[in-house]
Amino acid sequence: MRRSAILFVFMLLIINPANARTTQWYTYENGMAAADSMEKPVIIDFYADWCGPCVAMENSTYPDSRVVSEMEDFIAIKVNTQVRIDIERKYNIAYYPTIVFLDRDGSEISRHVGYLGPEDMVKTIRNSRGKLPKEAPGAQASYTILALLILRKRIIG
């Protein structure tokens, strides 16, 4: 009896790992607001329900733990182009799937058109991350010093 209980618990852990992470997907408006408030770059997945490569990415690429890990630095947005034609037009999307990468200011830094398996998706995310503007080392300290100098000038006159 005890042996079968241990086997049952072990099988549950294999089938449904408790610590499995997933990507949090946002709608367009909520995602852009989250990106603005969190000051994070954005990945937008433009898809169509009838698109075979889109479905394949949904089922095999996005759930992959390597992809989930790489996407943690981004706000992930899904746009169903059959419903949100306005956003499809805004980004000039012509083929599916299309993945658009935006920097923290909402400017496009890169895009990929077509299916990506997990390994290629990881490479694409890393490549896009490399194109993001980087803050110079010590920039925060420079901002603090500048604010103190302005404050000093106002106090002293």
| Residues catalogued as catalytic | 51, 54
What does the alpha-carbon distance between residue 100 and residue 110 come to, in Å, rounded to a whole number? 6
The SS3 call for residue 1 is: coil
The answer to whether 32 and 43 are in contact (CB under 8 A) is: no
User: Whose CA is closest to 74, among 54, 48, 116, 45?
Assistant: 45
CA 104 to chain CA centroid, Å, is: 12
